[in-house]
Amino acid sequence: MFSQQIQLRGHIIDSLLLPKVLDEILTNGGQFTIREVKIGQQRTDPSHATIDVFAAIPEAVDNLIGRLRQHGAEVVKEEDVQLAEAPADGVFPEDFYVTTNQQTFVHLGGRWIEVMPATMDSGICVDVKTRTATTVKFSGVCKGMKFAVGHRGIRVMPVERALDRHSVFEFMASSVSSEKPKSAIIREVAAEFRLAKKSGGKILVVAGPAVVHTGAGEHFEKLIQWGYVDLLFAGNALATHDIENALFGTSLGVYLERGALADEGHENHMRAINVIRAVGGIRPAVEQGVLTSGIMFQCVRRNVDFVLAGSIRDDGPLPDVITDVVEAQKLMRSKVGDITIALMMGTMLHSIAVGNLLRAAVKTICVDINPSVVTKLADRGTFQAIGLVTDIEPFLRELTEFLAEEKPA
C-alpha cells in the first residue's frame, strides 16, 4: 500500500469539496482514512481536513492525487512543479498538464505562482527566470519552451460559490427550462449589465444569426447604442444577415416586417455579401454611406470591437471574416482578458468556441431555444454558464426594456 497525505482548506463542507474528494478516491479504486476534520463554528469560519490517500501502486497514488488536485486538495509537503521541454513547434512534451478554466498555481522554488490567464485545454509554460507561468495553446508552442508535466506542484482553486446569493450568476451550471418564468432572471442580467458599466466591467456578446432571423436585431442595436457591448464575437452569418436586413429588409429571404410567411427567395444574402466585398469591408461600407443601419453599422459607429470568425458553411465570406480558424482563435483569445460578463445567444459553435477561451470567473449566460446547447456548453468545460432556454427576440426585448427603465445618463 502506498499513500500520500492531502489537505483540504476553506469551505470544504458547504462547497461540497470533502464529499467530492472522498467520492473521487473510492471511485478510482483508492482508500482513505480521515485524520482530522475541523469544521468552523460559523459558516464563515474556514474548515480544514487532513486525509491519507492509499492505493496499491505508487502510480495509482499519483493518479489519485492528480484527480484530487482538481478539487483543490493540496499534498501536505509540496514539491516543485516538474518541467519538460516541448520537443517541436506546436507539440507539447509527453504527459503535459492539461489546464481547466479555473484559477491555477504552480509551485516553483518554494512559491506558488499563478498561471495567467486561466484558459482550458492548454499547457502551462513556465519561465523559471522570470518566475511566470502562462497558458499556451497548441498553436503557441515553440520548441524548447518548458511546460509543466505530471500533477506535482500544481494547484487548482475552484471558483467558490458565494455564501449569499445576490446574483443569478451564482447558480453555475444551472439551466432555466422553457417551463419556468424568466422575467426575474432577465431582470438580474440587466442589473449585472448596469453594474458592469458602473464598475468598469467589460461585456462580451457572442451572437448567432438567429438574433437577426428572429427579429431581435433592433434590440441588440439598442444594447450597442447604450454602451452595453464592449466586444462582439460572431460569424459571417450574423453579419451577413444583419447587412442583408439593412440593405434589403430581409433575413434569409424573409421580410422581417412582414413576417415568416412572406418568403422571398434566398438570393439577397448573396447580394449583401457582394455589396460589402465590392467596397472592401464593413467599415468602408459604413464610411461610404453604403451601410446605414443595423448591428454591424452600430458597432462601427460606436467603435465596438468585433471579431468575425469563419466557418466552412460560410458564403462569401465578408472581407472582415477571418477565414483561418487558428488565427481567429488567437485573435479572440487576445481580446477576452478583461471580459467580466459573456452573453451568448443562438450559436452552439461560437458559444462552445468562446467558452473554451474564457476563464471560469467570467459570468456567462447562454440563451438558446435549444436546451442541448446549454448542456453541451457545460459538458465541454464551461461549467460556469447559466442557461436560459427561450426565444432570443423576447429575451432581448425584455432585457432592453429593463435596461431602459434605468438607462445610464
**Which spans in 113-235 are helix H?**
183-199, 210-213, 217-225
Give the residue with the Cβ less far from its own copies, 33 or 292.
33
The distance of closest approach from Cβ of residue 343 to its own copies in the complex, given in angstroms and rounded to an integer, is: 18
Give the residue with the Cβ less far from its own copies, 267 or 406.
267
Give the residue with the Cβ less far from its own copies, 126 or 216.
216
What whole-number distance in Å separates Cα of residue 253 and Cα of residue 34?
Answer: 66
C-alpha cell at 243: 447587412
Is residue 190 within 8 Å of 399, Cβ to Cβ?
A: yes
Give the residue with the Cβ less far from its own copies, 180 or 301.
180
Is residue 399 within 8 Å of 226, Cβ to Cβ?
A: no
Q: At what angle do helices 348-355 and 325-335 cross, to 10 degrees?
A: 60
Give the residue with the Cβ less far from its own copies, 227 or 311.
311
The distance of closest approach from Cβ of residue 182 to its own copies in the complex, given in angstroms and rounded to an integer, is: 7
Residue type, 395: F
The distance of closest approach from Cβ of residue 129 to its own copies in the complex, given in angstroms and rounded to an integer, is: 26
The distance of closest approach from Cβ of residue 315 to its own copies in the complex, given in angstroms and rounded to an integer, is: 5
Give the residue with the Cβ less far from its own copies, 270 or 301.
270
The distance of closest approach from Cβ of residue 229 to its own copies in the complex, given in angstroms and rounded to an integer, is: 20
The distance of closest approach from Cβ of residue 328 to its own copies in the complex, given in angstroms and rounded to an integer, is: 5
Give the residue with the Cβ less far from its own copies, 271 or 302.
271
Give the chain's radius of gyration (CA, Å).
24
Close Cβ partners of 379 (under 8 Å, ≥ 6 residues apart): none
The distance of closest approach from Cβ of residue 197 to its own copies in the complex, given in angstroms and rounded to an integer, is: 22
Instruction: Report the SS3 class of residue 319.
Output: coil
Q: Is the dihedral of CA 113, 116, 122, 127 positive or negative?
A: negative
Kindly write down the DSSP assignment for every residue of 245-295, as one continuous string. HHHHSEETTEETTT-TT-B--S-HHHHHHHHHHHHTSHHHHHHTTS--SSH
Kindly write down the DSSP assignment for every residue of 13-80, as one continuous string. TTTSHHHHHHHHHHHTT-EEEEEEEE--SSTTS-EEEEEEEEESSHHHHHHHHHHHHHTT-EESSPPP
Give the residue with the Cβ less far from its own copies, 44 or 130.
44
Neighbours of 162 (CB within 10 A): 10
The distance of closest approach from Cβ of residue 35 to its own copies in the complex, given in angstroms and rounded to an integer, is: 9
